Amino acid sequence: MRLPVEIIRAKRDGETLDSGAIRDFVTGFQDGSVSDAQVAAFAMAVIFKGLDRTETVALTLSMRDSGTVLDWSGLDRPVVDKHSTGGIGDNVSLMLAPILAACGAAVPMISGRGLGHTGGTLDKLESIPGYDITPEPERLRRLVKDVGCAIVGPTGDLAPADKRFYGVRDVTATVESQPLIVASILSKKLAAGLQSLVLDVKVGTGAFMRNKDDADALASALVEVANGAGLTTSALITGMDEPLAPCAGNAIEVRQAVRFLAGEPRDGALEEVVLALAAEMLVLSGLADNAAEGEGAARRAIESGSALEAFEAMIAGLGGPSDFSSHVDRYLAPAPITREVPALTGGTLDALDGRAIGMAVVGLGGGRRLPEDRIDPRVGFSGIQRLGTQLTLGEPLAFVHAASEEAADRAIGAFQAAARIGDGALRSASDSRVQGRIGPTTGRP
């Protein structure tokens, strides 16, 4: 067994690690014999030297095998999931899981917390009183069988090594590494015992991958590794040059998801991504013959109210209020301060720096700077204007929700600095959020 320092040194010097060395290191940071400092050093070495495909597969499988692999045999529904690489205002999972459940799929969605400047699905769900993100495996299995969906964290012994690695990466500037992202995502998905998986790979100013070539490379790597490990997987490339939902912040995004499922007027960009992912997942799982059929089924699940019913049943089944969607404002306390973010000039909203907006939410207390930080679920932004909107001087770019006037002042300044108002010349001719697809492949990477 190689010492952790030897493994770190080897990767720092650009050597290729064999699967045994990677397995030993993962076992070490799972059982505590590898320190947080050594985990951070290893991650930084990977940032600079990378991992080849064989090393990435070994890291993925080692983290998968650090705990239990769920077994869904006996279910009469196809087991499917989706994963997003993260962005601002990305609350898609909250709508997508119940939509698919209403369409006949089983969705054991193993989600994560906020990472870097992006919000985490688990952080959003923890704003719901009583919601248990770490149920016992039997409770999880029963809920997936009876309701069709459950959005939870890595429960009990499910990929426990990744949980620690994930937390260290969040605060050591080692998030933006393709092999580490691939291994983190897929270790949990493989441990979840899925039959098919669809990946939502974000690209743009609010994503970890800021250009299309990098996003395509990440999506290809994810699809190749996942299919090579026996999990039928495809990916959609979706734009993140502005927040996906017209809001950002944990409880704020939950409120928006409830309104979406309740059939209230839906934001066009968000609806496009939700329906595209739903269609892809229904086709991949065999519940639809083509994308048009899948999208139609998803729309009917919303319009009939069956998706909202699945959402409420999931919340109640995981300890939350049984009438949550009917009384969302009762259960989600608002921030004490709400103020406009006024435009500093008139013109066309040409650009929004998504990462800067995400960091402004973190600055409000809606994200973490350190792993032990507590999140304030109330804070964030709502009513965010879409790119291409014509604005007058002083018109709201958004509304900030803050715990104090001082925090609101800082967030207003940060949002204004993130917005570029001009003559519309920078706007793309295409407003489509779905920018590409990478289909399933075969063969081991």
Please, what is the Cα angle at 233 between 227 and 237, to 5 degrees?
125
367-395 tens-digit pLDDT = 877 767 789 999 999 999 999 999 999 99
SS (H, E, C) 78-147: CEEEEEECCCCCCCHHHHHHHHHHHCCCEEEEECCCCECCECCHHHHHCCCCCCCCCCCHHHHHHHHHHC
| CA distances to 107, 327, 338, 401, 421 from 393, in Å | 46, 36, 20, 21, 10
**Residue 381 and residue 398 in contact, taking contact as beta carbons nearer than 8 Å:** yes
Q: What is the pLDDT of residue 443?
A: 34
Return the SS3 of 400: strand
Q: Select from 71, 158, 134 the least CA-distant residue to 106.
A: 71
CA atoms of 379 and 75, how far apart (whole Å): 40
Question: Beta 149-152 vs 107-110: how paired, if at all?
Answer: parallel
Neighbours of 407 (CB within 10 A): 20
pLDDT band at 111 (very low <50, low <70, confident <90, very high): confident
Q: Select from 130, 86, 280 the least CA-distant residue to 196.
A: 280
Q: What is the pLDDT of residue 81?
A: 95
pLDDT band at 445 (very low <50, low <70, confident <90, very high): very low
* DSSP 8-state assignment for residue 370: S
CA atoms of 100 and 313, how far apart (whole Å): 14
The superfamily (CATH) of domain 333-422 is Pyrimidine nucleoside phosphorylase-like, C-terminal domain (3.90.1170.30)
Instruction: Give 146-159 as a DSSP string.
Output: HTSEEEE-S-TTSS
- pTM of the full structure: 0.86
For the packed helices 53-64 and 178-191, what is the interaxial angle rounded to 10 degrees?
Answer: 40
193-236 tens-digit pLDDT = 999 999 999 998 888 788 899 899 989 999 988 887 788 999 99
- Catalytic positions are 81-84, 121, 169, 184, 188-189
CA atoms of 188 and 417, how far apart (whole Å): 37
Output Rg (C-alpha) for the chain, integer angstroms. 21
* DSSP 8-state assignment for residue 37: H
| CA distances to 90, 227, 276, 370 from 437, in Å | 19, 15, 11, 35
CA atoms of 187 and 401, how far apart (whole Å): 36
Under CATH, which number does the domain 4-50 receive?
1.20.970.10
Stated as kind and residue range, the H or E segment containing 302 is helix 291-303
SS (H, E, C) 240-279: CCCCCCCCECHHHHHHHHHHHHCCCCCCHHHHHHHHHHHH
CA atoms of 232 and 196, how far apart (whole Å): 5
Residue whose structure tokens are 């006037």 = 405
Residue whose structure tokens are 């720096």 = 353
Establish how many alpha carbons lie within 13 A of residue 170's alpha carbon, considering only the half-sphere containing its beta carbon: 24
Tell me the residue type at 129. Answer: P
Q: What is the pLDDT of residue 116?
A: 61
73-83 tens-digit pLDDT = 889 999 999 99
pLDDT above 50: residue 444: no
Q: Select from 410, 380, 381 the least CA-distant residue to 396.
A: 381
Please name the fold of domain 80-328+433-437: Pyrimidine Nucleoside Phosphorylase; Chain A, domain 2 (3.40.1030)
Domains of the chain: which residue ranges?
A: 4-50, 80-328+433-437, 333-422
Tokens of 169: 């990466």
CA atoms of 152 and 98, how far apart (whole Å): 13
291-349 tens-digit pLDDT = 999 999 999 999 999 999 999 999 999 999 999 999 999 999 999 999 999 999 999 99
| CA distances to 81, 191, 195, 437 from 235, in Å | 12, 19, 15, 6
Tokens of 379: 């804070």
267-304 tens-digit pLDDT = 899 999 999 999 999 999 999 999 999 999 999 999 99
